Structure 1
Amino acid sequence: MTSLSTSSSSSSVFSALAPYGWDGAWADEFAPFDAEGLLAGRVVRVDRGQCDVVTVDGLVRADTAFVTPHDPLRVVCTGDWVAVEATGNPRYVRTYLPRRTAFVRSTSSKRSEGQVLAANVDFAVIAVSLALELDLGRIERFLALAWESGAQPLVVLTKADLVPDPAGVGHLVQDVETAAPGVQVLAVSATGGDGLDVLGAVVSGGTSVLLGQSGAGKSTLANALIGEDVMDVRAARDVDGKGRHTTTTRNLLVLPGGGVLIDTPGLRGVGLFDAGSGVGQVFAEIEELAQDCRFLDCAHVAEPGCAVLAALESGVLPERRLDSYRKLLRENQRIVAKTDVRVRNELRREWKRRGAEGRAAMEAKRGKRAWQ
């Protein structure tokens, strides 16, 4: 009788949670908590120490006090699979299951803490409005965080209907593809429906997080994918294309064609957080060139035998790409150095070395002028 009831219970959990991404691997992870009488559920929204969790009993409100550590990377987040108390008022989240992926950015605080935007994500959909001039550097920044999270990035160029020349859309897609090696780039129009079938097919394969600046058309895109107006939408300003933050929390929504979508508020700042491998993946061609440099620790600045600089001089490598690569690497090093003593000491030695080289060069120049 016990095995029959357990089998029935497992079947109910699968039927209730499968649309939200529940699978056999999650069931195995949850087994110890199931034995304790806790309910499995996925966090669909977090708000001030409480969260909405979808469970076999439906949507329940739960308190996160038991899992609010000092480390901001370990707080409960939208997309987490959690173990919730079966009864109680309030109910409490007892723990969350180990995350498969996590999209993390640096906070704006001086402590350089990380902030988890979404957990257990398969696709990171980066929305970029074609109503504004493309900022390839910002796209590369989003891509670095996406690759670092473990999710597959996808760049969606929204508001394609606002581009006067249809041929121009193709050129813009090509421009973004040069900044996003190995990443699919789609141009869509949420109002006209162009490209939505392709996007819907991609995101039906798992959990997607929708990212981008305010005014990029994320909420409109979310509504188009869901097939109804579930997200508030307001017009962007004509002067700069920016809109107000109509989405103020991260919400997890089930898509009718399959898959799950996490919509996020517009991101004003997108700081890197220990995203070295993500930066390397965005600039894969530079990392590949660097393997042919004469020195293993080549900084690609003025070293002899630098394959990266040779590619720059020959025109194979665009100067904008190298500048963006250097900028993101420096930023990431600074973030890591604030929490890693070894990296901080290495940076100080590098600054001293470069300072000494600069002073030596100035002295040599002065000496040369004195002889003239």
Structure 2
Amino acid sequence: MELIYLLQILQRHIIKVLLISLLAGAGAFGYVKYLMPVEYKNTIVFSTTTKVDPTRLIDANYDPLSYFESADRFAEAIIGWFRNPSVFTDLRDRVPAAKDLPLDSMIKVRKQEKQNLNILFTASSKSLVEDLGTALQNYLKERVAKVNEASNSSYDLVDFQSTIEESKTSSVLAAGVAFTAVFILLCLLVILIDLLRGVVLFPHQAEQILGNTSLGKLSHIHDLRALAALLAKEGGTALIVDTHAPKEASALAIAKEASSLLAQKTVLIEGNAGSTGLLEASGVGSRLGKVKGFFDNLSAEELVKVAMQLHPEDPLLRFIGSGQGRIPSTTHIQALSDAHDVAILSASLPESPYVYLLEGVLMVVVVKVGVTKLATLRHIAQVSTTDRVLIFAS
């Protein structure tokens, strides 16, 4: 699927996606700024050194750099101490408030440069951070003293500096991350949902399913002047198959516009179940009355005669099917079509018998992107071989 079509899906939902994403960003901003607890970070920096033996200063083989290298290797050894769980056990004994804390993952020891180390850790209270910092310094000094005593060395830790500062996530950064994450997730979600709905998402889908139409397509449901010209060109008979609007709304609108534009006698034939069997002039039906029951007792010729009596008052005549689901016979349809300048047959569902009974008339398929089901169009393509023209409803 081309990127342009995915962007068209997003365009239909972009306002909702943006609103939800903005709400998520605002929520993250408010939580971090006003509700998220403040943490405190302690950074301890110090250096390792070793004392120079004065008696070796007059030694011809004396290398002053060896003392710096020894101190640097000792710094590496200190980092290794923190790989031993006993260090954290000792710290918990020194600071009871840290008894349940995962000190092995909290405390990070890194070598900054030769002989220089820094220790970083974060805790929920400033007092706890201070106590842990003091305990660490005391532990390191005691441990160094034991090493010196055991190995007759002269290592030392100097230049201890402890910096405590608040550690809190930026509320603006949190809002940006939340907005971006929710926006991307919703974009993927709406694309997936639309693809799984089985409806027409792009105009080219309807065109591909119904095939190349010899009469082209109309871009909009209200572009009825072009449709009126098509009706005149094709002999004045068209079958309107509305795949999305109930109660033949599109067919009635097209019929009214066609009768007005052409100033000719127009008949709209509706044969779907659920309507009342009657024949009426759309504008003055209440004054002239309605002729009912024509399926049972009127021949095609008699039906045309009654229709012509109604026309002087109104160019548009509606011929409505019966509530029992019966439809006008092809004889009645043909007679009415021949007697009128424009005949429009309405079928709001592709299962309408019109689709099966009629051939050789122009089929106008009204499609609404995002509503019309792909299965409906496939059904129309299977049961009908007439010329088709597409109208995409707004």
* TM-score grouping bracket, smaller chain normalisation: under 0.3
Which structure has greater helix proportion? 2
Q: Which has the higher contact order (CA 8 A, sep 6+)?
A: 2
Structure with bigger gyration radius: 2
